Amino acid sequence: MNKRLKFLDRFLTLWIFLAMTIGVGIGYFFPSSAKSIDKLSNGTTNIPLAIGLILMMYPPLVKIDFKKMPAVFAKPKLLILSFFITWIIGPLLMCILAVLFLSTQPAYLTGLIIIGIAPCIAMVIVWSELAEGNRELTAGLIGINSLIQIAFFSLYAYFYLEIVLPLIGIKGLSIDVSVGQIAETVGIYLAIPFVLAVLSRWIITKTKGENWLNTRFIPTISPFTLIALLATIILMFCLKGEMIISLPMDVFKVGLPLVFYFGIMFTLMFFIAKYFGADYRDNAALSFTAAGNNFELAIAVSIGVFGINSDQAFAGVIGPLVEVPALILLVKVINFWKKKYYK
């Protein structure tokens, strides 16, 4: 099988930079366009962006075959390990890094924490495939993380933003958000595409068969994720306009703790999983699941809760800019570790 990334995915970072440039250009040279887009909002939810973000989430969720979930439960030790590293250590680590690097910029700090409590349910499929990880385990972990996000993301976000941060003395953090507000946002951007994905798989499997679903339908809708992501970025940066031009260092400030996060999470999971006896294919699936983040959901929540023009939403966009090159590098790292530790 060809393990190379498809052309669009392989240059995702380039496309994101181009989308940012186009968005800034439109917002800077045609400021009236930004005002027109901003008018298409209901509260803090911008309707065009809501559509784009839902379309972004839909294809990865359709790819999940929930019949493969038993593959995870057949390995309870690995499941518990993944849950602990991903949902306990990961958010705590991101919170610590955010406080260390961005304690004087609470809005960016908040955006990073939102990224940290959203484990990856999309691009991890690509990284695991490139590293020859266990597909069934990857699919199972994605399914479990999707369900956990739907059920507990809002409570997790409230816990870290409204309870943990004040306890550690972060001042000047003006957040007025309820569990209900976050739950509503998660419901729109994750539950809606999740339900649509489940219904799509069921209807298509019944009418066309599973083979047609996997060979025709999924390949057809897969590009929608990237297209919707780029369209969302263009719209976001169009609305920011001149602000983006004056903040090049902010990309570095937000990106640096993310680099540390990806590296620490990946390394921690790899060596702990190896210690507990995971074979290479299982270890690759576990490591990339732990390291990646669901930046689509992070962007959606930041926009829905804090507004499209918020610094939290800006921090969310930095996520894929850093994650894509970082995880591509980690594919090379795990191939090296495979030769060294799994002879």
Rounded CA-CA distance 181/268 in Å is 34
Give me the sign of the Cα torsion angle 228, 119, 319, 287. negative
270: phi then psi, degrees, rounded to nearest 5: -60, -50
Per the structure, the complete domain to which residue 229 belongs is given by: 8-338
Give the pLDDT band (50/70/90) at residue 316: confident
In the 3-class helix/strand/coil scheme, how is 35-91 assigned residue by residue?
HHHHHCEECCEEHHHHHHHHHHHHHHHHCCCHHHCHHHHCCHHHHHHHHHHHHHHHH
DSSP string, 243-260: HHHT-HHHHHHHHHHHHH
- Average confidence (pLDDT) over 182-205: 81
Token digits for 73?
């439960």
User: Is position 295 within any domain?
Assistant: yes
Q: Which of 97, 154, 144 is nearest to 121 (CA)?
A: 144
- Asked if 237 and 61 count as a contact pair (C-beta separation under 8 A), the reply is no
| Contact criterion met (CB below 8 Å) for 9 and 233 | no
- What is the pTM for the complete model shown? 0.76
Residue whose tokens read 């994605």: 142
Say whether 41 sits in a helix, a strand or coil: strand
**Residue 175, pLDDT above cutoff 80:** no
Q: Which residue has the tokens 């968005």?
A: 23
pLDDT number for residue 3: 47
Number of domains present in the structure of the chain: 1
Percent of the chain with pLDDT over 90: 25
Residue 107 lies in a domain: yes
Looking only at the bridges linking them, the beta strands covering 41-42 and 45-46 are antiparallel
Question: Are the CB atoms for 127 and 292 separated by under 8 Å?
Answer: yes
Residue 288 covered by a domain? yes
* Residue 2 lies inside a defined structural domain of this protein: no
pLDDT band per the 50, 70, 90 thresholds, residue 33: confident
Distance CA 193, CA 187 (A): 9
**pLDDT beyond 70 at 244:** no
Is residue 177 included in any domain, yes or no? Answer: yes
Is the residue at 1 inside a domain? Answer: no
**Does the pLDDT at position 102 exceed 60?**
yes
Mean pLDDT comparison of 182-186, 219-223, 322-326, 330-334, highest-scoring range: 330-334
In a domain, 122, yes or no: yes
- pLDDT given at position 297: 77
Region 49-60: what's the mean pLDDT? 80
Calpha distance 100→104 (Å, rounded): 9
Give the C-alpha separation, 98 to 339, whole Å: 34
Query: Can you tell me the distance from the alpha carbon of 208 to that of 203, in angstroms, rounded to the nearest whole number?
Result: 8
Q: Summarize the confidence of residues 299-319 as an average pLDDT.
A: 78
pLDDT at 201: 92
Residue 200 · residue 214 · CB < 8 Å: no
| Residue bearing the bigger pLDDT, 175 or 266 | 266
pLDDT at 128 over 80: yes
Sign of CA dihedral 243, 245, 246, 248: positive
| 40 occurs within a structural domain | yes
Q: Which two tokens stand for residue 67?
A: 């019949």
CATH number, residue 192: 1.20.1530.20
Is the pLDDT at 2 greater than 50? The verdict is: no
